[in-house]
Structure 1
Amino acid sequence: MENQNLNKILSGEKLSIDEEMVPGTIHLVDLEGTLNVKKESGSQSNIILQPQPSSNPNDPLRWPKRKKLAQFSLLWFWAFMQAVAVNWSGPIWTLWTETFDCTYMQLNISSAICFIFLGIGCVFLQPTAMKMGRRFVYLGCTIIAIVSNIIGSQGNSVQVLYVVNLLSGFAAAPVDSLVEISTTDVFYQHERASYLAWFILALYAGSDLGPVACGYIVETLSWRWCYYIQIIIFGVLLIVQLFYMEDTTFERIDRDDLEDKIIQQMKSRETILSAVQSGQLSQERVNSDEKLNAIVSVNNSINTDDDDESVDSSIPMRTYWQKMRLVETEYNDSRSWLTIFYRPFFLISFPAVIWGGVVYGSQMMWLSLLATTQSEIYSLPPYNFTTPQVGLTNFGALIGSLFGMAYGGPFVDWITIKLSKRNNGILEPEFRLWTMIVPTIFNAAGLLAYGLGAAYEAHWFVSAGIGQWLLGFAMSSSGAICLTYSVDSYPKLASEGLVLMLFIRNCIGCGFTFAIQPWLTRNGLKVTTWLMFMLSIIINGSFVVLIKWGKDFRRATKNNYYKYSDPMFGELFKK
């Protein structure tokens, strides 16, 4: 076999790859520094760039870091404001029941409608973004958010809130799926958890700070000004987006498998070194042969992600006005809209995706619990908080979310790289799941502190401070972990996987929003809290199943993964 491999190398043929390729298992670190691949610029750890940037100078992966962060910051603020738009009203539910002569159950229905259209929006807007560009969808959703707030500002019945939440939910849908794809457009796999965690923070920071601002606006002005202020902010944001936000849409034509190339290089080097040791090949021959020397040379790598040498100079850089097009037609997805629309549902048999959707969906249960009960709990005895004070109770969750973002993002990326180095430079997505231990414990403890603290009329700091801090940490960190794990498990189906996960998440959120008020009415806050505590242990604690059998699940879905990874699979309208 060694002789055959050596002959193939000398004749320029590719070696046969007999190693099992499991989706998600990749070489993340070049421990010996011998691979001829692009690596992190200035890195001393030889982290391999996954995916590899193309030779096209317009590839978003080639953007300078400063530009990446500037565009990321704009998108982060957009996501933050969309989260505010759908979650700010919790402190004034008691006021609305009097103003609109409605029940809490009717307000819960308005929230459930929001969840429904968050899910519908994910399914419809994702293929639209792939065909017409991310920029087109972000601008369109900003306009819809403005219209939604205009209608809300003139509302005089709970039925108007139904319409407002329908539009707001649809406009905010990209926060749940498209912004994550925009992140993978410009950042590499070893950075992924850090930046996804920032977007998870945008979701929870908007959900926590929106009610705080709402309380003070209502006290000093009126609840209608909550809508007016959002109209102003979204209006300014629309202008900035029009002239500054660039599209990250980029269809990668080169679909060669990087992992296959890496294994080819490793096997070729091993074969040549073995041949030299056995005397089949002389060291002089290796030194004099440019091709053989390149294979075995140490540090034979491109140690930068924006190297000029690998750029195709025949492709012109886009002009400013080309970058500011409303509709992307050059680098958009070549498939039909309908194909992109239904492809996510092919992944229904992928355990990592379903698990990610269920765990992320459960976080919406706890978020919905806070949003729908805070006004009832804190505006009544023994607390008797004013509307601004009810809003301030969200600061506990916000601070917890900040800590959770740091844990679920940079820390998870760091621990994943460390474990990959210990594993001969090979990353297994399950490495990320070890970090679920802390969010699982904190989530369960936070539910008990929040629910039982309020039920037993403990000091407000027990429920609003300790309980919401723990819940904020758990929701922020676990969301980033489960999303990153699922994307890492099936990297070529990242977009489809995110859409299905978020569809599942919003279905769970919608169902729970309908159920929470009858549940509280029937069982009371104490029993409901204990039941939710047990649910959180079971759902979040299920990560141990994937640590044990996650790779087996990925191996079992290997054939379907490679079949579905063909971008034309399922195409009904072939050109």
Structure 2
Amino acid sequence: MGLPVNTRDEYGSDYEFLPGTVHLVDVDGALNVKKSENGDVILHPQPSSNVNDPLRWSKKKRSFQFGLVWFWAFMLATSINFAGPLYPTWVREWNTTFGMMGVSTALGFLFLGVGVCFIQPTGLKLGKQFCYNVCTLIIIVGCIMGAFSKNIGYFLAFKVLAGISAAPVDTLVEITSTDLFFQHERTSAFSSLILALYAGSFLGPVATGYIAGTIGWKWCYYIQIIIYVPLLVAQIFLMEDTTFKRAENEEEALEEGIMEQIKSIRSGEQQQRQQQPADSPEMKEFGDVEVASDSSSSQLSQTPYTWLQKRNWVHSEQGEERSWFCIFIRPVFMIPLPAVVWGGLVYGFQMCWLSLIVNTQARIYGSPPYNFSVESVGLTNVSVFVGNVFGMFYGGQFVDWFTVQMARRNKGILEPEHRLHAMLVPTLINAAGILAYGLGSYYQAHWAVSVIIGQGFMGFAMSSSGAICLVYPVECYEKLTSEALVLMLFMRNMISVGFNFGITPWITSQGLKGATWVMFGLSLAINGSYLVFTFWGKDIRRLTKPWYGKISDPLFGEFLRQKKRK
């Protein structure tokens, strides 16, 4: 079923519908499609007739399931980034160096990045719930090992296990959010998950400082175990798998149906149709979403899963039929799509600013003229977290609202590039934050300059720009959401690995002042590259449309397995 390439009469000029271009708002209120509560935002994707479709769940249930995943992601982010304030203590106790502590951070991100590539196909084959449960078990084992650390080797082993167990945070939790939320809610969901990542990364060290300063650093591990065990119980008895297979070419069929309705409205046929109510689909309400019953649907209502079925660790009934290897290799085919590579590059550099703070805060604030205690060093992260919260609202709720307004101005049509206009604010604020943090520390300015302004500004920019740069490629290439996320998050982690390996010798060689100015320039160049897609993003989508159409075939990539068999 093909989409119309151009539409003339409806919009007064040619309008080209490329991948990512969708009708988001029913500006006339006359379209017979499933819409949000306010009645004019079109639901993408449309909820199916299958009673097990997560998009048919009530808003309360969707929010609860998302909350479980959010807290799980928060805890795993805490586990992989909590130890920053302890570096000076461990350097003394274990007779090691700050360089080795930087290596341990890089090792965690290395296994996080590699783990993404293996966790994603496993989750799509066996269910996301399986991966969440298994990874919780792995991190519990890792925390037990960490509590008995006697040298840097134990900590390196913990970092490996923490990286593997946190891998779903960088792929499956984002896919879970797309299972539970519609397109007009997507940036809010992504920004919430990014907040979980940064909240764990920055509030974890705050707790670490107080715990280590009062009852000893081993309790940083014990307390995590105390939290993870009941969390695992909650996952087993309360979490539901959100994997759901939707009809192929669903979005194309929806757009084609909308175009047909628009033509009917313009020609007056809609008025005749309204005089025949028997032809209109019956509307039934499920939760907060109106869903049209459709007896011709290929996804007719099925028997709801029983409580015991929901408790299964493996959920393959809605899983991928493709081979594990095919799912594993498919993200490689996304490399020719510039928007996806751009998203991974921008998000990767946000992690560089995170690593900058994690790897330098103990040395900066634990030394003259600040001479902060371990507790106070950890407390500086509160500023980053506050910035993250403001960034979440800006990059999430505000950007979603802004996008809907842009679509209304564009006769109801959403272009993915509409979101990119919001990148201007985090681009400028992040650059200013890097200067305040680096130069403020170098010139030994009052701690408020580097902590409140520097870390706060960077926190705002990291969470807001991260959500925008992840959602933009996903909207451009909707059918390849899973593959796009894996490639972007793999790139993010590999950039972070390189940065963590190099930051300590870099600052030692060039000095904090010189390194700060280089990072300032990188920040403006990388974040500011959004302008390329703001102006030429639609042209790029037009050029990549043939390749996107080719690799959108779910079986594209299976030929590799067939060749291997031969």
Instruction: Report the TM-score when normalising by structure 1.
Output: 0.91
Equivalent residues of 1:33, 1:300 under 8 A apart: no
Instruction: Tell me by how many angstroms 1:272 deviates.
Output: 7.3
* Alpha-carbon RMSD: 2.2
Q: Do residues 492 (structure 1) and 479 (structure 2) align?
A: yes
Equivalent positions of 1:409-448 (< 5 A) are 409-448=396-435
Equivalent positions of 1:1-150 (< 5 A) are 17-19=4-6, 20-40=16-36, 42-44=37-39, 46-150=40-144
Equivalent positions of 1:451-466 (< 5 A) are 451-466=438-453
Structure 2 gaps, min length 5: 7-15
Q: 1:241 to 1:16 in 2, by over 3 A?
A: closer
Deviations 1:25-72 (A, max 9, x none): 1111111222222111x214x111101111110011111100011111
Which residue of 161, 166, 191 corresponds with 1:172?
166
Deviations 1:464-484 (A, max 9, x none): 111110000000100011111
Q: Do residues 266 (structure 1) and 259 (structure 2) align?
A: yes
Which residue of 289, 294, 298 corresponds with 1:305?
289
**Letter of the structure 2 residue corresponding to residue 115 of structure 1:** F
Structure 1 runs, 4 residues or longer, greater than 6 Å off: 283-291, 299-304
Q: Do residues 527 (structure 1) and 514 (structure 2) align?
A: yes
Equivalent residues of 1:455, 1:526 under 8 A apart: yes
Q: Do residues 233 (structure 1) and 241 (structure 2) align?
A: no
Q: 1:524 to 1:341 in 2, by over 3 A?
A: same
Q: 1:515 to 1:347 in 2, by over 3 A?
A: same
Q: 1:328 to 1:505 in 2, by over 3 A?
A: same
**Letter of the structure 2 residue corresponding to residue 30 of structure 1:** D
Instruction: Tell me by how many angstroms 1:425 deviates.
Output: 0.5
Could you tell me which residue of structure 1 aligns to residue 208 of structure 2? 214
SS in 1 for 2:483: helix
**Letter of the structure 2 residue corresponding to residue 255 of structure 1:** E
Which residue of 245, 252, 255 corresponds with 2:248?
255
Paired-residue identity, %: 52
Partner Cα distance (1:393, 1:326) in 2: 40
Equivalent residues of 1:116, 1:507 under 8 A apart: yes
Instruction: Tell me by how many angstroms 1:261 deviates.
Output: 3.9
Could you tell me which residue of structure 1 aligns to residue 10 of structure 2? none
Partner Cα distance (1:502, 1:140) in 2: 21
Partner Cα distance (2:260, 2:300) in 1: 33
Equivalent residues of 1:33, 1:301 under 8 A apart: no
Q: 1:273 to 1:456 in 2, by over 3 A?
A: closer
Partner Cα distance (2:234, 2:166) in 1: 18
Q: 1:261 to 1:398 in 2, by over 3 A?
A: closer
Q: Do residues 328 (structure 1) and 328 (structure 2) align?
A: no
Q: 1:213 to 1:273 in 2, by over 3 A?
A: closer
Deviations 1:411-441 (A, max 9, x none): 0000000000000101011110111111001
Q: 1:448 to 1:15 in 2, by over 3 A?
A: closer
Instruction: Tell me by how many angstroms 1:259 deviates.
Output: 3.9
Partner Cα distance (1:114, 1:443) in 2: 25
Which residue of 428, 443, 466 corresponds with 1:479?
466
Partner Cα distance (2:426, 2:409) in 1: 24
Could you tell me which residue of structure 1 aligns to residue 237 of structure 2? 243
Equivalent residues of 1:397, 1:470 under 8 A apart: yes
Q: Do residues 549 (structure 1) and 528 (structure 2) align?
A: no
Partner Cα distance (1:185, 1:286) in 2: 34
Equivalent residues of 1:105, 1:517 under 8 A apart: yes
Q: 1:82 to 1:495 in 2, by over 3 A?
A: same
Equivalent residues of 2:2, 2:256 under 8 A apart: no
Which residue of 562, 565, 573 corresponds with 2:549?
562
Partner Cα distance (2:272, 2:233) in 1: 64
Instruction: Tell me by how many angstroms 1:171 deviates.
Output: 0.6
**Letter of the structure 1 residue corresponding to residue 259 of structure 2:** M
Partner Cα distance (1:524, 1:198) in 2: 35
Q: 1:235 to 1:286 in 2, by over 3 A?
A: closer
**Letter of the structure 2 residue corresponding to residue 535 of structure 1:** L
Instruction: Tell me by how many angstroms 1:546 deviates.
Output: 0.6
SS in 1 for 2:119: helix
Q: 1:372 to 1:542 in 2, by over 3 A?
A: same
**Letter of the structure 2 residue corresponding to residue 256 of structure 1:** N
Partner Cα distance (1:103, 1:552) in 2: 50
Structure 1 gaps, min length 5: 1-13
Partner Cα distance (2:250, 2:61) in 1: 28
Give the number of equivalent residue pairs: 548
**Letter of the structure 2 residue corresponding to residue 147 of structure 1:** V
Instruction: Tell me by how many angstroms 1:381 deviates.
Output: 0.5
Instruction: Tell me by how many angstroms 1:310 deviates.
Output: 4.3
Partner Cα distance (1:401, 1:220) in 2: 28
Q: 1:300 to 1:21 in 2, by over 3 A?
A: farther
Instruction: Tell me by how many angstroms 1:74 deviates.
Output: 1.1
Partner Cα distance (1:26, 1:327) in 2: 35
Equivalent residues of 2:35, 2:290 under 8 A apart: no
Partner Cα distance (2:275, 2:203) in 1: 66
**Letter of the structure 1 residue corresponding to residue 111 of structure 2:** F
**Letter of the structure 1 residue corresponding to residue 289 of structure 2:** D
Instruction: Tell me by how many angstroms 1:406 deviates.
Output: 0.4
Instruction: Tell me by how many angstroms 1:564 deviates.
Output: 1.2
Could you tell me which residue of structure 1 aligns to residue 338 of structure 2? 351
Q: Do residues 339 (structure 1) and 333 (structure 2) align?
A: no
Which residue of 162, 172, 177 corresponds with 1:183?
177
SS in 2 for 1:332: coil
Equivalent positions of 1:276-295 (< 5 A) are none
**Letter of the structure 1 residue corresponding to residue 413 of structure 2:** I
